[in-house]
Amino acid sequence: MFWKIVGIVALIWIALALVGALIKGLFWILVVSAVVFGLYMLFKAISGSDKKDLTHIS
């Protein structure tokens, strides 16, 4: 029973270490992509290139 608990704790510890490394590695990619997406949406809002006006349909 003791070794079963030690094994479960070790598996949980390894899983948390892997998840932590993954989050640490992908954090800056997430930040950069959020900034690029925000700048793109700002550009679209300022440029007025929306195709929502349907008054000139042939």
DSSP structure class, residue 48: T
Model confidence over 3-57: pLDDT tens digits?
A: 999 999 999 999 999 999 998 889 989 999 999 999 999 998 888 755 655 565 5
pLDDT of amino acid 41: 92
Q: List Cβ neighbours of 44 (8 Å cut-off, separation of 6 or more).
A: 50
**What is the pTM for the complete model shown?**
0.50
- In angstroms, the CA 7 to CA 3 distance is 6
- Measured between alpha carbons, how far is residue 28 from residues 16, 21, 25, 40, 42 in Å? 20, 13, 7, 18, 21
